[in-house]
Structure 1
């Protein structure tokens, strides 16, 4: 990584580079702290657009300050807090939609199930030997692997509502 170039794009575009280390503000490292915090939010939200050198060489604000990291204002704005929040929101929505697709409400007249609810096998079906059902805590049988955040809590809530009826 060339620290004399923009730490985001590593390109020489002729555009002005901003360097928080050379700021006249009292809190000269604040720009680096904000950038690192935003990068962490993008990582948590599953951003795949992070340049490899940011993942490997930009560890913390101190590293940026020591090397006097610089950026183009347009490159910096790609990793704003607002964009990180939007990305996280889209991720939560995708996970929620994936969860919702695993359940299908069925008209009770079309089903032998008096509760009118069946579980779809939209997610990866298969046998997982040695694993245990997180609903009934029994081993064996046909299990389905699911990998969404908070699925256990949401599924238990749904089952509880269905069992109350």
Structure 2
């Protein structure tokens, strides 16, 4: 948006407040110096990222350009960029930076309480962390568990120097949590291998059916297909119950040209060629006379 020099150069709003132009001031002092001072303050506000209001001009504006356009402003807008306001803004910024750089005090452990549950001997007897080996084990477990609350408590130094104490029951809980985590992590590859082997077994089953269809077999008893699939899973060291209905659904999805036919308690998967043969044989053997 282009700057409208006929309005306040600061807010660009058309209000009832009168505009004031330094060039028209009755003050005999250097009138262009007011522009220079204003632009200098704008630049310093920008440096500390504390510009009071959004401006349509940047730091590249010059005193000469302001003079040539007889730049004017509302007094209330101009005062926002006064030297006193700039000084206060710098002070606030300095205070904020100092507070951010100031190191925060670490919370020390209460030596009369368990550092794990933060309860005292009213729960049970407290034991001290007495060796560096224990200190390391505790830190390793808490770090691997990524327990941010406990990590904050033990970050002040070694636990012996901090006179850290614990309940045996709390330590047992911590170790159990850690064991559970390790167990879950070790199971992940096994789960992946198991799923991959299940996929391999299903692929082998579909290949068997495809080869059988190519050889002229177009009808498959579902119970036999199910048994074959279970056997192949067991060969891959996967022992699980296989739902016949789900297996049938997967096969029908894989072979859309097949369909299920039932007779009594038995179900079969029949391919189109098999259906044609069944119909052909039925017509051939039936007496239509």
Q: TM-score range by the shorter chain?
A: 0.5 to 0.7
Give the match's secondary structure for 1:55: coil
Q: Whole-Å Cα distance in 1 between the matches of residues 29 and 49 of structure 2?
A: 34
Whether 1:43 aligns to 2:46 is yes
For residues 93-149 of structure 1, give each alpha carbon's deviation from its aligned partner in whole angstroms, at most 9, with x where no partner exists.
11110111x443676x96349xx9xxxxxxxxxxxxxxxxxxxxxxxxxxxxxxxxx
Q: Whole-Å Cα distance in 2 between the matches of residues 27 and 12 of structure 1?
A: 28
Q: Whole-Å Cα distance in 2 between the matches of residues 71 and 46 of structure 1?
A: 22
Alignment RMSD: 2.8
Bigger shift: 91-100 or 40-49? 40-49
Aligned residue in 2 for 1:6: 8
Aligned residue in 1 for 2:157: 111
Whether 1:71 aligns to 2:117 is no
Q: Is the 8 A contact 1:29 1:61 kept in 2?
A: yes
- The aligned length equals 114
Q: Whole-Å Cα distance in 2 between the matches of residues 3 and 71 of structure 1?
A: 10
Over 3 Å counting, the alpha-carbon distance change for 1:84 and 1:105 in structure 2 is same
Aligned residue in 2 for 1:121: none
Q: Whole-Å Cα distance in 1 between the matches of residues 10 and 55 of structure 2?
A: 10
TM-score computed with the length of structure 2 as normaliser = 0.35
Higher relative contact order (CA 8 A, sep 6+): 1
Shift of 1:26: 4.5
Over 3 Å counting, the alpha-carbon distance change for 1:97 and 1:36 in structure 2 is same
Q: Whole-Å Cα distance in 2 between the matches of residues 94 and 69 of structure 1?
A: 35
Whether 1:34 aligns to 2:37 is yes
Q: Is the 8 A contact 1:7 1:71 kept in 2?
A: yes
Q: Whole-Å Cα distance in 1 between the matches of residues 97 and 29 of structure 2?
A: 42
Q: Whole-Å Cα distance in 2 between the matches of residues 74 and 15 of structure 1?
A: 9
Structure 2: give runs of 5+ residues left out of the alignment: 112-155, 163-289
Q: Is the 8 A contact 1:45 1:84 kept in 2?
A: no
Determine which structure has the larger helix proportion and give its number.
2
Over 3 Å counting, the alpha-carbon distance change for 1:105 and 1:3 in structure 2 is same
